[in-house]
Amino acid sequence: MRSQPGNRRFLLWLSLTTVLMAVVLAVMLAVFLRQARSVEETARLQTDSITALTFHFEREFLRFRAELGQSLQTRHEPDWEQLGLRYEILLSRIDLLRDSPSTARLRDKPEYLILLPRIEALVKQVDPLMADPPSHLPELAQVLETLYSIGPEVQALSSASNHLVSSLIEDQLDTVRGQSRLISWLVAFQVALLLLGATALMVRHRRLQRERRELEMLNDALREAKAQADSASQGKSRFLANMSHELRTPFNGLLGMLDMLEETQLTRQQRDHLLTARDSARHLLNLLNDILDMSALEAGKMSVQPEPVDMLRLISEVHAVMAPAGQRKQLTMRLHLPSDTPGPVLADPTRTRQILFNLMSNAVKFTDQGEVDVRVNWTQHAGTVRWALTVRDTGIGMNESMQAQLFQRFHQVDGSATRRFGGSGLGLEISRTLARLMGGEISVRSAIGEGSVFTLELPTPLAPSHAPAPSVPPLAAPPASAAATPVPAEPAPSPAPTRHAESIEWSVLVAEDHPVNRKFMGALLNKLGHAVTFAENGQQALDLVREHDFDIVFMDIHMPEMDGLTSTKLIRALPGEKCRIPIVALTADVMNDAEDRAAGAGVNEFLSKPVQKDQLQAALDRWAGRHHQQTA
Amino acid sequence: MILTSRRQAFIAITAGLFSWAGIQTPAQALDAPQGRVILTITGKIGETNAERQAQFDLAMLEALPQHSFVTQTPWENGSIKFTGPLLRDVLAAVKAQGTQLKATALNDYRIVIPVDDDRRFDIVLAHRMNDQLIPVRTRGPLFIIYPFDSRKELRSNTYYERSIWQLKSLDID
């Protein structure tokens, strides 16, 4: 993390600043307290100020002196009691001057030091006289003289105390001023510190904001890049899906012609070459199908269509197809089926078959000796049958990192194996995607040299009990309601079609715009012994059906001027028996909805190109024969 | 005023109870002073023993219920025990009816004391400091003293000023 040291430094600064602020505040508090004490002191000085005490002393001094003067000069009997009172009051003032805590500061002044001994000496002299004043008149006159002589010093004490208090107040003021200055500096420092802190915070905030903005921008850029990559990838998938028709059409012709060639007289070497060519073409077609499936999955154009299926029978059929390939490699091909069956379940037979083929062919492909063991188990819970199909081989096996990459796109077990085993690397990904589409999962257990165990788990709901038996052509369905007739499941490739209809010559209309395909279909049908009429588009097909009687129509979907679906719909709208003619759609589209749309338009069966000879014969047997029986 | 009257009525009753209980009190009607007059009360008073004034000698003050407390003052080092009647008992004795007291000292020092103080604090009209009679020389013979040590608010210039010594007379206004 880039910002971590910066963060730590910031926190350090923050705590340092905080501590500094706290210290400054503490100092300020101390200064404030001291100032408060100073003010308190000043107040106390004023409470009973030195000046008031000296002033009262001077006043009582003067009043006693005046009273004494009057008593000595009066012709009447003097008020000696009044004089005594004045003397007592003066004495109380002298005591206060000497003893009161307030005058402590005055006591080291020269004026005080000179005056007080003289006053005290005087008091010592006067005290006995005041006990009986009338009998001591001359002495009292002497005292009056003394009182007059020390008058200026009494006054000087007043001035001195006045001066003392003002200088004390000035001192206090100086102290307070100094403290105020200190406080001002501290406050200024505090403010500066605060500003500094605020600035630092602002700078930091700005930097964080900038970093966040940059991150957001980066995020946006990444998101945009991802969206672009996704859309580019999707575009490619869409392109490939759309290309499927274009790619399969020439293949149709190529494979058909190779099949035809095989039927002719060939030298051994030519036959060898031909077989190699056909194997290569088949291999290429497999790769192509993988790629096209992947594209369809990617483009979201593939969906699963469950129908009642006898799962055990389906598995047996796939195993029967794969067994010869294994036996050619001297492998033991075992199949363990459970003794009982849950009955028909709802599953997509085509996709299930595709997964099974993939797992079993992989097992055969990567095993050079030993066995391929297929084991099936099922459990039932609340109307759902959970299938566990295990394919165990004694092949090369995989280590953990290989297993981890196994289901990744374009993955091939290892570079060298690619050369040896071939394959698109898409098979397992397609299988797992399909399994997940159906709510299942494929898992693997393996170790180098100890073979691999692939397990397909698949939950399938039980089919309603009245559903028709699966994998059996719906013979009972009337062909007239062709639009509503379900397209039957692809028949198992192993059993050979019945040959009883081969001798019957059907009148067949083939609507096909591509000349190679027309030639291939023509050759195939001729070879089977049927009369073929061609139409190059939907309109021609419609016209021909209207004018002639055909036993069956093979209708290409993609054609110029009028496509096969429109043509089918119009044929179904013809009056009389014409509308019941069997129509078999042929297309190279792999998209699911192609089949749906064809059924919706009213075709009886849907064959995907390239068409094999067996498929063609089966369709003829199924539809033309029945049509013939009904119209006859 | 009504409140004041009530309070005074209460004080009068209290004083009456004391007298009934046999505690040493002066007669209801103010007697004439026997000794030297040390306090003269004038103004709005209900009891007199001279021409429009009430005069007190030491014995009359000592005859009222006595009160003591120890406190520090700004004028002395250390604590001092003050003894004397409560100011409010003295005022009750003369049936004072004013809101303020103008107190005057022997040296003509004058200060105004709100009667309210008398309600809030136990102010003593001290005639003894540390159990000794107070000569004029040590700020006697009478000293109005607040119980400074009992309340913090009392330790301020306001109440120090009102603590008048060498008290001579009270004028009820």
Co-location of B141 and B108 in the same domain: yes
Q: Which residues of A touch B (CB under 8 A)?
A: 43-44, 46-48, 56, 59-60, 63, 85, 88-89, 91-92, 95-96, 99-102
Residue B2, pLDDT score: 43
Q: In chain B, what residues touch A48 (CB-CB under 8 Å)?
A: 74-75, 160
Residue B101 and residue B116: Cα distance in Å, rounded? 10
Same domain, B148 and B135: yes
DSSP character at residue A481: G
The first and second tokens of residue A632, run together, are 């006859």
CA distance A512 to A521: 9
H, E, C per residue of A393-414: ECCCCCCHHHHHHCCCCCCCCC
H helix count then E strand count, chain A: 17, 12
Output the CA angle A304-A309-A314, nearest 5 degrees: 100
Tokens representing A262 are 């095989």
Question: What's the alpha-carbon Rg for chain A, to the nearest Å?
Answer: 61
Residue A631 confidence (pLDDT): 53
Looking at the fold, whether B39 and B87 belong to one and the same domain comes out as yes
pLDDT tens by residue, A528-555: 888 889 998 889 999 999 888 888 999 9
Whether residues A88 and B136 touch (CB distance < 8 A) is answered with: yes
Query: Residue A495: its pLDDT value, please?
Result: 38
Residue B6 pLDDT more than 70?
no
pLDDT at A492: 37
Terminal Cα-to-Cα distance of chain B (whole angstroms): 13
- Give B29's pLDDT tier (boundaries 50, 70, 90): low
Task: Output helix, strand, coil percentages for chain B, rounded to the nearest 5.
Answer: 30, 30, 35
The helix (run of H) or strand (run of E) holding residue A631 is helix A625-631
pLDDT above 90 coverage of chain A, percent: 19
Q: Among partner residues A47, A59, A91, which is closest to B137 by beta-carbon distance?
A: A91
CATH code assigned at B93: 3.90.420.10
SS3 B170: strand
d(CA A496, CA B43): 148
Instruction: State if pTM tops 0.90.
Output: no
Measure the CA–CA gap between A94 and A89, rounded to whole angstroms. 9
Beta carbons within 8 Å of A7's beta carbon, 6+ residues apart: none
Structure tokens at A492: 């198992």
Q: Nearest Cβ partner of B106 from A46, A89, A95?
A: A89
Backbone angles phi, psi at B27, to 5 degrees: -65, 155
Question: Are both B83 and B154 inside the same structural domain?
Answer: yes
Give the pLDDT of residue A410: 56
Residue pair A485/A424 in contact by the 8 Å Cβ criterion: no
**Where is A348: in which H helix or E strand?**
none
DSSP per position, B10-40: HHHHHHHHHHHTT-----SSPPPPSS-EEEE
Give the pLDDT score at A43. Answer: 64
Q: What is the pLDDT of residue A223?
A: 95
- Core vs surface per residue B79-116: b (16+ CB within 10 A) or e: ebebbbbbbbbbbbbbbbbbeebbbbbbbeeeeebebe
Q: Identify whether residues B17 and B58 lie together within a single domain.
A: no
Residues B134 and B146 in one domain: yes
Structure tokens belonging to residue A357: 């083929």
Domains: count for chain B = 2
DSSP B150: G
Whole-angstrom Cα distance, residue A100 to residue A34?
Answer: 26
pLDDT of residue A499: 40
Q: Which residues of B touch A89 (CB under 8 A)?
A: 106-107, 136, 166
Q: Which long-range contacts (CB under 8 A, 24 or more apart) does A186-190 make?
A: A186/A24, A186/A27, A186/A28, A186/A31, A187/A28, A189/A24, A190/A21, A190/A24, A190/A25, A190/A28
In terms of domains, do B85 and B5 share one? no
Residue B160 to residue A59, Cβ atoms within 8 A: no
Are B55 and B123 part of one and the same domain?
yes
B14 and B94 together in one domain? no
Helices A515-528 + A137-262 axis angle, to 10: 50
Secondary structure letter of residue A484 according to DSSP: G
Picking from A47, A85, A99, the nearest residue to B136 by CB comes out as A85
pLDDT the model gives residue A102? 78
Contact indicator for B49, B32 with CB cutoff of 8 Å: yes
Residues of A in contact with B76 (CB under 8 A): 99-101
Q: Is A223 exposed, middle or buried (0-12, 13-18, 19+ CB in 10 A)?
A: exposed
Whether residue B21 is found in the same domain as residue B47 = no
- B135, B75: one domain: yes
Radius of gyration over every alpha carbon of chain B, rounded to an integer in angstroms: 15
State which residues of chain A have pLDDT below 50.
1, 47, 415-420, 467-502, 632
Closest Cβ–Cβ partner in A44, A89, A102 for B107: A89
In sequence order, what are the beta bridge partners of A381? A384
CB-based contact B107 A59, cutoff 8 Å: yes
User: Which stretches within A267-348 are classed as H helix?
Assistant: 268-298, 311-328
Q: How far apart are CA A411 and CA A433, in angstroms?
A: 15
Check whether residue B10 and residue B38 sit in a common domain.
no
Evaluate whether A567 touches A555 at the Cβ level (below 8 Å). Answer: yes
Domain, as residue range, for B7? 1-29
A169 CA to chain B: closest CA distance, Å? 18
Helix axes A80-99, A110-131, angle to 10 degrees: 150
